[in-house]
Amino acid sequence: MVMIMLFISENYDKQISTYAPVCDSLLVKNVKNGVYIKKNNQVENTMCKYVFFFLLSIATLQAEENPIIYLVSPPRSLSTVFLRMMDHRGDCAIFNEPTVCPYDRIHYKEFTESWFVEGVPETYVEVKEKLYEAQKNSPVFVKEVTFSFLDFLIDQPEVVKNPTVHFVFLVRHPHATAVSFYLKVEEIIDGMADLIGYEKFYKIFSLVNRDSPNSVKVIFSQELADNPFKVVKDYCEHFKLSFKEDHLHWEPYGEDFGGIKEWNESKVVRLLKLWHGNAIQSSGFVQPTVYDVDEKGHPTFAEVKNSDHRDAMMQIYSENLLWYEKFVEDINLSSAVP
């Protein structure tokens, strides 16, 4: 441990302005004993004669640590295609939805007994430890779905506060997400509104905004499909990653792809291909499927042939739409603040 002591003199303000960024990297933004106080981006003098910056050596080590970047989204949001792009880069360890197995072990243990590969992490602690172990060797990219990821963050709250952990939120309109999800399962299952996941998406976003020391990145799925060059370039700049146009194009995986080596995949091949088959065989970003709307632009859910299921999906969609609109409203308000 290294401690730096700065004597208050006529150069006090200069010393503070020089070392304040170090303090920021240590998350020391409001020391209660009057050592260092920062308000409205202005460092304010205190009556203290000394300023102590503890753990400087540890902060230096943290700055040199590889980042963990979480891509958080509801299911069916083009997230796996985004993962394909990160996989193609070749400079990150890739993890695809590692919290789903622990979540299902807690909530659907008997039902999901045969859904996961033997030996994958089955608790949230094991997931965290595996990610931190991978971080020792390279940057880590983790794609997560909201229904399981919120429980993980509640169980492991220190993850959000870790200065090496970063978050990007990818969001698609819930009409498309709901229809696409239904067409995969073709039934109404218990907790389906929760699995589609916009309430949890909003809660994760709020939690990360409150507790993370790092700024978040928000990407709308349609904007990603419309202009992948701009969106991916902005994403790379935000996280200080290199960017090449070549990153936007890749070769499809073969029929024998299982994802264990490439994505640290936890799902068995049957389920991997059910949920991610199109992305596995993709070669770049393409326009997502557009679903039916009426003359006023309201979803019809005509793709759901069972009338009882259609009524249920309209209700599920309405519940999730409220949270999506709340999220968009918060984003707009945030961007309007000078």
Res 110: pLDDT: 82
Residue 64, pLDDT above cutoff 90: no
Q: What is residue 37's predicted lDDT score, i.e. its pLDDT?
A: 35
| pLDDT above 80 for 31 | no
Are the C-beta atoms of residues 76 and 272 closer than 8 Å to each other? no
Q: What is the pLDDT of residues 1-29, one digit of tens each?
A: 334 333 333 443 434 333 333 333 333 33
Burial of 214 (0-12, 13-18, 19+ CB in 10 A): middle
Average pLDDT, the chain: 84
**Distance between CA atoms of 316 and 331, rounded to whole angstroms?**
23
For residue 333, what pLDDT is reported? 67
Residues 105-143 pLDDT 10s: 999 888 788 999 999 999 999 999 999 999 999 999 999
Residue 244 phi, psi dihedral angles, 5° rounding: -135, 145
Q: How many CA atoms lie less than 13 Å away from 257 in the CB half-sphere?
A: 22
User: Residue 111 has what pLDDT?
Assistant: 79
Distances (CA, A) of 25 to 34, 144, 157, 166: 19, 26, 19, 14
pLDDT band for position 335 (50/70/90)?
A: low
Question: What pLDDT was estimated at residue 337?
Answer: 42
Longest distance between any two alpha carbons in the chain, whole Å: 78
Q: Is residue 332 very low, low, confident or very high in pLDDT (cuts 50, 70, 90)? A: confident
Q: Look at strands 4-7 and 50-53 and give their pairing.
A: antiparallel
> What's CA 281's distance to the chain center, in Å?
23
Identity at 293, one-letter amino acid code: V
pLDDT in tens, 149-198: 999 999 999 999 999 999 999 999 999 999 999 999 999 998 999 999 99
pTM for the full predicted model: 0.80
> What are the pLDDT digits (tens) for 292-312?
999 999 999 999 999 999 999
Q: What pLDDT score was predicted for residue 154?
A: 97
Q: Which domains does the chain have, with CATH numbers?
A: 4-62 (no CATH), 66-336 (3.40.50.300)
Percent of the chain at pLDDT > 70 equals 79
Residue of 320, 326, 70, 284 whose CA lies nearest to 177: 320
Nearest to 169 by CA among 123, 215, 217, 104: 217
Evaluate if residue 52 carries a pLDDT over 90. no
> By the 8 A CB rule, do 209 and 160 touch?
no
Q: How far apart, in Å, are the Cα atoms of 300 and each of 184, 296, 316?
A: 18, 10, 13
What sections of the chain are H helices per DSSP?
12-25, 56-64, 79-89, 100-107, 124-135, 146-155, 158-161, 174-185, 192-196, 198-211, 221-226, 228-238, 260-263, 269-280, 307-336
The single-letter code of the amino acid at 70 is: Y
